[in-house]
Structure 1
Amino acid sequence: MIRMIVKDLRINPLRTGLTALSMFIGIVALIAGVLVGTLGRDYLEAVNARLSGRTPTYSAIIDVTSVAGMQTTMTLQERLAHFEPGSASAQYHLNDLAIWASSGDGGLEIRHVAVTVTDAERTRVMPAPIIEGAWLTAADKPATLETVVNENARQYVHDGTITLARTGNPQQVPARVNGVIVDGADEPVIYVNAAALQRYWPQAWTPDGLTILVHPDAGVDDRHAKTALDDLLADVGAGSVSSWNRSDNADEYEQVIDFLQLGVIVTAMLLLAVSAIGMINIGLAGIEQRSHELLIRRALGATRASIAAQVIGSSVLLSLIIALAAVLISASLVWMVPWMMPADSPLEPPAYPYTAAMIAAGASVATSLIGSLAPAIKAIRLQPALALR
């Protein structure tokens, strides 16, 4: 029977090719739909994480009591680096910190660009791909006065440094630029190492406030994270939490993600339905063309079961071959995606959707089985007496 089924596939190459193409499109479309939906979700989450923190991120505004002290700041940053309920990063507000940059007439002037005084833990809460150099040095490691800039702030970098200044103060201090990141911000942003700033330019260390960003680990309740932060601040003597709010803006894109996933599912179902309809049409047309051959087999003693097995078996075998080919080709394409992604892409290289591939392969076999039932029923209803006409 297997030999007959294989031979059956070779009788009409055009019919077999059209059926194979229909199956291939359905399988690849389902895999691609799931992959696109997954990438769309990952993209929205990655962009949001750059701008407002990983999901979930909480913003804790601190009532500052003694954060101006060097020892307090160093201890606080070291403790935040080992924050057990999750990841935590401090952001100090120094309103008078600015930079010296070229003016329109060729001279130098103070520019009030966004200057964020933070620590090495920030990228664990708000990830930002590093496209050049490295991120800020950890507080417990030696470092010179250092900064990191985003792409829009490259214009202020000269000879690998940026000149920091204070509003209304003629003093200028060069700071080394560690690297360049993609943080998703549309305006220039300069990130300054808080520990290094306090150590090497203490005159500029006049914080007006402190915000701590907290990203709890999976399964950690936000109330537990807040309690842990309160205990940490009390131990360090750096004030207390006066405001605790979620700041990652996840609610704004969750509806978009749900709609995207629903659209992907509906599209995949429609593609499979179109594939099944195409197979039924091709199968019925094939029975019309092969009716004389099937009638002769019936007249020579072939049973209705063998005729049905021949018709259904050829479709199922073809679907298995096409499913394997579609999975291999789609896996090769997914493997090539990381090589085509730009360095500043917010997405991680996508993993191959094995579950979707198995579902697509199973759906292909089920579709071929369903799609071959109508042709098989038509074939077994042929009357052997017609072969004598």
Structure 2
Amino acid sequence: MTDAKPFPPLKNDLILRAARGEKTERAPVWVMRQAGRYLPEFRAERVENDFFRICRTPELATKVTLQPIDRYDGLLDASIIFSDILVIPQAMGMEVQMVPGKGPHFPEPLVLPGDMAKLNENVDVNKELKYVFEAITMTRHALNGRVPLIGFVGAPWTLMAYMIEGGGSKTLSKAKEWIFKHPKESHALLQRITDVCVDFLVGQVHAGAQMLQVFESWGGELGPHDFDLFSLPYLAQIAKRVKAELGHEHAVPMTVFAKGSWYALDKLSEIGYETVSLDWTHDPAQAKATTKGRVTLQGNMDPNVLFGGDEAIVSTVERMIRGFGSTERYIANLGHGILPTVPVEAMGLFLKTVHRVGLEVAAEKKEAEAKESIQILG
């Protein structure tokens, strides 16, 4: 699974140091869905290739993963492998289509608990998801050490919801009917998904991923009580089991992103993840007060600000960086994935402003510390 050829040495480890809680020269930055539809070079690739064909073809996945790294040369501090959270339901035996203008579609979703019998009993990720591992290894070499490579997975509750709803949903009424009417079967399904998630993440690290993120994209659709029952235990289990299987020698920083689950920030900070990613509903000062330095925070600009023009982008980034700080336990990002119609110039301005303001805040902090030291000595 892992290429015998050694990987190139890493030239920029800023994001890894930030995730581990080490001081940094400035806040590192990357963007969720940074390789995707907002890029004209990606849209050109999609004219020739189906979405999942790109995911399943290591050469194509590598090519599009590098597109934002090449376009925004020197501005991004991480790459994230081009894939999709729904490769796990596919590995479990479900058909998933990516319908233009609609998004993911499951022709045969799980309707009743008995439908779980249609799922593969034992999923061999080395067979079913080998193409992802090959893409990670290929991409790691192609990056040539420019930035670290992030691997990822969808969280169990989010994946379960897709598998039952058959695609996107405004209410998740079908998935919620399961957890309320069939709690025992729901937990059984969540556990089966968790087992595959763990194997998949461990495999990604062995293939070359240097950081991992777990996307609980629909976490906020659950209230606090139900989040504690149907999401949090499985997120915690993933972190614990992945770390145990990798051991100290292969350990990589892990990030959890539970969109909309603002009420769970304290609990998310104590279940084994180095970084907690935040959506735009979080106030920096409040988030820092809640987490008390236990984790690195990531985020959290509203992606829609990128449509607001230069002034809005600059002022929002300035407020964000000054709110979270620039040199310790912070990774700049959006509060969710970049939207497909965002102008590439807006993304460039966002990244440049994060760099500029991050360095300014770091310099201001250094100067303040120096003055304080002089006063103490005096």
TM-score interval, normalised by the smaller of the two chains: under 0.3
Q: TM-score, normalised by structure 2?
A: 0.25
- Is the radius of gyration larger for structure 1 or structure 2? 1
Q: Which structure would you say has the larger RCO, counting Cα contacts within 8 Å and 6 or more residues apart?
A: 1
More strand by share: 1
Q: TM-score, normalised by structure 1?
A: 0.24
